[in-house]
A and B are shown apart, each in its own frame.
Chain A
Amino acid sequence: MNWEIVIGLECHVQLATRSKIFSPASTEFGAAPNTQAHMVDMALPGVLPVMNREAAACAIRFGLAVGGAIAQRSIFARKNYFYPDLPKGYQISQYEIPVVSGGQVRIITDQGQRSIELTRAHLEEDAGKSLHEGVDEIPSGCSGIDLNRAGTPLLEIVSEPVMRSAKEAAAYARALHTLVTWIGICDGNLQEGSFRVDANVSVRPVGQQAFGTRCEIKNLNSFRFLERAIEVEAQRQIELIEDGGAVTQETRLYDPDAEQTRAMRSKEDAHDYRYFPDPDLPPLIISPDWIEQIRSELPELPEALRTRLSQEFGLSDYDALMVSATRPTVDYFFQVIRAGEGQGVDAKLAANWIMGDVASNLNREGLDIDQTKVSAAQLAGLIARVADGTISNKIARDVFASLWSGEYPTADAVIEAKGLKQIQDSGLITGFVDEVIAANPKMVEEFKAGKDKALNALVGQVMKKSQGKANPQQVTELIRSRLHS
């Protein structure tokens, strides 16, 4: 039987606000346990929550970016359950009326482009963390509670169950990750848990309308794990059904070492969260003015930018996608274009350099693009020298290496100091060509017999003699004209 996989994702995005969603404590990551827990976060008797409007502004930004509907009046609700890292015994979240409804995110896979529809996005607070024995000096037989994270603002973004493969789900998660960092509402740090994904996975025979029973895989914090977890979970469900069993609705955890998912709790153990509107918080009122103000501050979104990169700058879809992978990358791209204006620095060349030598050097040293060792101005200066024929592409890569190592401040300085300028004197090159033709009669024969490979070899010899400073095109033409005459 052929099976179809059905996937919906719930992404928990930590919002990049300075203080928590309902308390004045800092949201900075990595502080000593409980040093960033305000008495509101500790749920001392008598404390009350006060909404951080910055968190609501983040939700509005997101709603605008995905084209969702922003509720003018949304409600905070209490989700009641007992857990040691949940100090109030309830989590403040949004239930019946979320701040954002609908919207969509465009994804690109090798199947092409498509939109993933969103169900909703709602604001809520994060819980604290339980630390178990052995961690951070917790004595044996004890658990510790760190409330630094308690009350950190989250936007929970829920997709419709419209994805049909693990690849598609991973592409969606990546696109969403790009978007939330792009619009500046999340730092996107996966290791620190700033972007956490739960996947709802079910399978059904191809052609069947009704959904199969789903399982939820919790807390996937890497795209690779997400993709793998969905694959193994779908496989598990298919095998279970084919062996005559049935999937039971449950929450599962992915174990990347064992490459399998494991049951965490079944539906029978599911809490009755007893949601009800939080009487401590008035409805969140969002005025049209507020929305318009945020709309006016919104950066150009990845999709619009990609269209512009292809239409205005002539980049291919692939190049446009790569250049717009992150906001800092595209900023760097535009800085290069601006710095190279009037010097023949074209977009295609800039994109090639960014995806080529810049990316590989960054990768090798584990740096982000905003930590690049070759500035946009330096790169523009280098590309300009290729464009005006001063140096060849090959030499340019050496110049780039010198700039990266910080040996010289500009491409011109490298070219000057190392004497890398392309030889313009055609007499000198003609001399080299004649020498090479004379020394390689066998290759000349082969070329004349129609073997283009031989031409390349001859050009290579001339280039070698010129120490790379000849213009390879000029050399090729010279050899052709000499041998045809």
Chain B
Amino acid sequence: MTASIPDFSDLAGLAKGLANGAFSAPELTQWTLRRLADDGLNAVLAVNPEASLRQAEAAQAQLTSALAGRAGSPGLGFSLCGLPIAHKDIFVTRDWPTTAASKILAGYMSPFDATVVEKLRFAGMVCVAKLNCDEFAMGSGNTHSAYGPTKNPWDHRAIPGGSSGGSAAAVAAGLVPAATGTDTGGSIRQPAAMCGLTGIKPTYGRASRWGMIAYASSLDQAGPIARTALDCAVLLSAMCGFDQKDSTSLELDAEDFAAGIDQPLPQAKAATPLGGLRIGLPKEFFADGLSAEVRAAIDAALAELTRLGAHIREVSLPRTGLSIPAYYVIAPAEASSNLSRFDGVRYGHRAADPKDLMDLYCRSRAEGFGHEVKRRILIGTFVLSHGYYDAYYIQAQRVRRLVAQDFDAAFADCDLIAGPVAPTVAWDIDAPTTNPLQEYLADIYTLGVNLAGLPAMSVPVGFGQAGAAQRPIGMQLIGPRLKESLLLKTAYHLQAATDWHTRTPPPVGRSA
């Protein structure tokens, strides 16, 4: 019936189909909803076909009138109108329940849409689902969802990464062409890497946090996960922009990150479009702990970048190791306060028959929050306590400034930084998790970026082997403040020269 809709298409391809009338927005939405209905991955937390179709009809009306008055758009940019998008369940939505993958918000209906959700809807995108994640975005494997873990479509035994694991899994499995994510310590880049996708976290303040359920306010940023750098560029352009409802939002004009993305760098030739680009490799990112297969895949990608004209040089981020303890003080501190509002008084889970106020608080929260969330609330409460504040929180803020200074110093010698996203490929869902530190240590390459508020992305560069299955590997590109365009251009040219981003998982467990 809708055979004309291609599997695993990127947004750009689907936009062409809509533009030339191969299929309509409602048809594309129906098709996507059918896929989402039987995902076999536990990536989906909520759908509302009626609301989705309503949005699709509106988008189609826009498309029809726009098509009538337009002779094709110049450049590579494309209209998002009529294209499906699914949101991480951290963004509040009016027509879908929003749970943050927590029992404490089971069935919660927000009276408003997050700014990012609203912006994408204004761009004509059709919301098709809310996606699984780690509870309140706390986790690196999507195993901390109150609604069960999400499977990696490349290997169902593996985690999809986290915390935006549902987003990455859904896109990798071809259930949706793109999804939103949030990144507090790597939560967009790491699942994108582990699912073989492209994902970007912009500079802190680019995307509004209004309507994004806060984990750690000074670190949280929204961004897209999609198949290609171009798709990410178009999505990110629509998601960002100053929002007066978020005081930490940057007062910048909207930027088109897709504009000129295919052009070579200034002074570079078409054959070597990245000519003159200085890429720094932090030596601390290639030290002990990095698995050989990840190392090999990164090396191969760097060789490709060199062929495209880039110069590789070593830089140093000496405080890389300290970013883990600093992050795991600051993020839980903010989280312990941000999550105080979930008290059973006004909305969300409330314990039955409370004896008194204290009982209401204690049991509502004890019943509503999962282990990892409780752990971080306890850590955060501890580090802010009288007598410990200076030793932990203040010290962590000092380290945070030093980490940012390390990046500034490195960018004096290079235009962008490249390295691994995670030390290994995705681990097994049922890997023993007796020691939470192990999961925390896996964030070593991503945390510093959030502490410094920098833009960074993940680009697929190969696979590792886990038995018979392949598990994807991502390369991280980190830019100076506001240099998203340079990151995306670099990724675009790498993708133009390679095909890692076009690989699709084997059909096992995927409903055809």
Partners in one complex: yes
Residues of A at the B interface (CB closer than 8 Å) are 39, 42-51, 78, 80, 82, 84, 87-90, 145, 272, 274-276, 279-282
| CA distance in complex: A88, B341 (Å) | 4
Indicate if the CB atoms of B341 and A43 lie closer than 8 Å: yes
Stretch touching chain A among B9-17, B60-68, B232-240, B385-393: B385-393
| CA distance in complex: A84, B341 (Å) | 10
Indicate if the CB atoms of B384 and A49 lie closer than 8 Å: no
Indicate if the CB atoms of B357 and A84 lie closer than 8 Å: yes
Smallest Cβ-Cβ distance to A78: which chain B residue: B337
The verdict on B501 contacting chain A, using a C-beta distance below 8 Å, is no
The verdict on B373 contacting chain A, using a C-beta distance below 8 Å, is no
Q: Least Cβ distance of A37 to chain B in Å? A: 10
The verdict on B343 contacting chain A, using a C-beta distance below 8 Å, is yes
Indicate if the CB atoms of B340 and A47 lie closer than 8 Å: no
Q: Least Cβ distance of A207 to chain B in Å? A: 34
Indicate if the CB atoms of B334 and A279 lie closer than 8 Å: yes
The verdict on B244 contacting chain A, using a C-beta distance below 8 Å, is yes
The verdict on B421 contacting chain A, using a C-beta distance below 8 Å, is no
Q: Which residues of A contact B209 (CB under 8 A)?
A: 48
Indicate if the CB atoms of A47 and B210 lie closer than 8 Å: yes
| CA distance in complex: A282, B217 (Å) | 12
Smallest Cβ-Cβ distance to B100: which chain A residue: A45
The verdict on B347 contacting chain A, using a C-beta distance below 8 Å, is yes
Indicate if the CB atoms of A42 and B210 lie closer than 8 Å: no
Indicate if the CB atoms of A82 and B246 lie closer than 8 Å: no
In the complex, besides A39-B112, A80-B337, 16 extra interface pairs with C-beta distance below 8 angstroms are: A39-B111, A43-B341, A44-B111, A46-B91, A46-B114, A47-B211, A50-B244, A50-B246, A80-B336, A87-B341, A274-B385, A275-B389, A276-B384, A281-B247, A282-B247, A282-B248
Q: Which residues of B contact A50 (CB under 8 A)?
A: 244-247
Q: Which 3 A-B pairs have the closest CB atoms?
A: A89-B340, A279-B218, A274-B384
The A-contacting residues of B in range 70-114, CB under 8 angstroms, are 91-92, 98, 100, 105, 108, 110-112, 114
Indicate if the CB atoms of B211 and A88 lie closer than 8 Å: no
Q: Which residues of B contact A276 (CB under 8 A)?
A: 333, 337, 384, 389, 393
Smallest Cβ-Cβ distance to A84: which chain B residue: B345
Smallest Cβ-Cβ distance to A271: which chain B residue: B386
B: interface residue count bin: 35 or more
Q: Least Cβ distance of B95 to chain A in Å? A: 15
Smallest Cβ-Cβ distance to B90: which chain A residue: A46
Indicate if the CB atoms of B108 and A280 lie closer than 8 Å: no
| CA distance in complex: A43, B212 (Å) | 13
| CA distance in complex: A200, B247 (Å) | 36
Q: Given the interface contacts A43-B346, A48-B210, A84-B345, does A279 sit within 8 Å of B247 by beta carbon?
A: no
| CA distance in complex: A44, B210 (Å) | 11
Smallest Cβ-Cβ distance to A50: which chain B residue: B247
Interface readout for B209-231 with A: 1 if CB under 8 Å, 0 if not?
11111101110000000000000
The verdict on B427 contacting chain A, using a C-beta distance below 8 Å, is no
Indicate if the CB atoms of A46 and B210 lie closer than 8 Å: yes
Q: Least Cβ distance of A280 to chain B in Å? A: 5
| CA distance in complex: A365, B245 (Å) | 48
Indicate if the CB atoms of B345 and A45 lie closer than 8 Å: no
Interface readout for B345-384 with A: 1 if CB under 8 Å, 0 if not?
1110000000001000100000000000000000001001
Smallest Cβ-Cβ distance to A130: which chain B residue: B357
Q: Which residues of B contact A46 (CB under 8 A)?
A: 91-92, 98, 110, 112, 114, 210-214
| CA distance in complex: A78, B333 (Å) | 11
Indicate if the CB atoms of B217 and A280 lie closer than 8 Å: yes
Q: Least Cβ distance of A426 to chain B in Å? A: 80
Q: Which residues of A contact B210 (CB under 8 A)?
A: 46-48
Q: Least Cβ distance of A206 to chain B in Å? A: 35
| CA distance in complex: A39, B110 (Å) | 10
Q: Which residues of B contact A90 (CB under 8 A)?
A: 337, 340
Q: Which residues of A contact B217 (CB under 8 A)?
A: 279-280
Indicate if the CB atoms of B248 and A280 lie closer than 8 Å: yes
| CA distance in complex: A274, B393 (Å) | 11
Indicate if the CB atoms of A82 and B343 lie closer than 8 Å: yes
Q: Given the interface contacts A80-B340, A90-B337, A274-B381, does A44 sit within 8 Å of B110 by beta carbon?
A: yes
Q: Least Cβ distance of A74 to chain B in Å? A: 14
| CA distance in complex: A90, B389 (Å) | 17
Q: Least Cβ distance of B184 to chain A in Å? A: 12
Smallest Cβ-Cβ distance to B249: which chain A residue: A48
Indicate if the CB atoms of B385 and A145 lie closer than 8 Å: no
Q: Which residues of B contact A84 (CB under 8 A)?
A: 343, 345, 357
Q: Which residues of A contact B212 (CB under 8 A)?
A: 46
Smallest Cβ-Cβ distance to A273: which chain B residue: B386
Q: Given the interface contacts A78-B337, A272-B386, does A45 sit within 8 Å of B218 by beta carbon?
A: no
| CA distance in complex: A50, B384 (Å) | 24
Q: Least Cβ distance of B25 to chain A in Å? A: 27
Smallest Cβ-Cβ distance to B209: which chain A residue: A48
| CA distance in complex: A50, B248 (Å) | 9
Q: Least Cβ distance of A135 to chain B in Å? A: 17
Indicate if the CB atoms of A45 and B98 lie closer than 8 Å: yes
> Which of B100, B110, B217, B345 has the largest count of A CB atoms less than 10 A from its CB?
B345
| CA distance in complex: A50, B215 (Å) | 18
| CA distance in complex: A42, B112 (Å) | 13
Interchain CB contact (< 8 A) of A89 among B245, B343, B389: B343
Q: Least Cβ distance of B133 to chain A in Å? A: 14
Smallest Cβ-Cβ distance to A145: which chain B residue: B345
Q: Given the interface contacts A50-B244, A274-B385, does A45 sit within 8 Å of B337 by beta carbon?
A: no
Smallest Cβ-Cβ distance to A85: which chain B residue: B345
Q: Which residues of A contact B92 (CB under 8 A)?
A: 44-46
Q: Which residues of B contact A280 (CB under 8 A)?
A: 214, 217, 247-248
Interchain CB contact (< 8 A) of A45 among B105, B247, B333: B105
Q: Given the interface contacts A43-B346, A88-B340, A90-B337, does A48 sit within 8 Å of B111 by beta carbon?
A: no
Interchain CB contact (< 8 A) of A82 among B247, B340, B346: B340
Q: Which residues of B contact A87 (CB under 8 A)?
A: 341, 345-346
| CA distance in complex: A145, B346 (Å) | 9
Q: Least Cβ distance of A180 to chain B in Å? A: 27
| CA distance in complex: A12, B248 (Å) | 28
| CA distance in complex: A84, B381 (Å) | 19
Q: Which residues of B contact A272 (CB under 8 A)?
A: 385-386
Q: Least Cβ distance of B366 to chain A in Å? A: 14
Indicate if the CB atoms of B393 and A48 lie closer than 8 Å: no
Smallest Cβ-Cβ distance to B358: which chain A residue: A82
Q: Given the interface contacts A39-B112, A80-B384, A274-B385, does A48 sit within 8 Å of B247 by beta carbon?
A: yes
| CA distance in complex: A48, B92 (Å) | 13
Q: Which residues of B contact A42 (CB under 8 A)?
A: 346
Q: List 25 A-B contacts (CB under 8 A).
A: A39-B112, A44-B92, A45-B98, A46-B91, A46-B92, A46-B210, A46-B211, A46-B212, A47-B210, A80-B384, A84-B345, A84-B357, A87-B341, A88-B341, A89-B339, A89-B340, A89-B341, A274-B337, A274-B381, A276-B333, A276-B337, A276-B389, A279-B248, A280-B214, A282-B247
